[in-house]
């Protein structure tokens, strides 16, 4: 999935365009390393379980 998003960001880099990610993983602590490993460079929000929600990740 990420190659498609990366190519889209690259193709649109000179235009007014924003890619936002919304993650619904249960475990925020497990999600953060994945974002780093996969080199997710776009803004990503976490919408996990209601009792553990926070604002943005990156």
Over the stretch 3-51, which tens digit does the pLDDT of each residue have? 899 999 999 999 999 999 998 888 888 888 988 998 888 888 888 777 6
pTM of the model: 0.61
46: three-class secondary structure by DSSP:
strand
Give the pLDDT of residue 55. 52
Cβ neighbours, 10 Å, residue 46: 21
């Amino acid at each position: 999935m990420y190659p498609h998003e990366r190519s889209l960001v690259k193709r649109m880099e000179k235009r007014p365009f924003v890619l936002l990610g919304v993650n619904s993983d249960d475990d925020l602590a497990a999600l953060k390393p994945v974002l780093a490993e996969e080199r997710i460079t776009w803004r990503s929000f976490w919408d996990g379980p209601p009792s553990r929600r926070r604002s943005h990740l990156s």
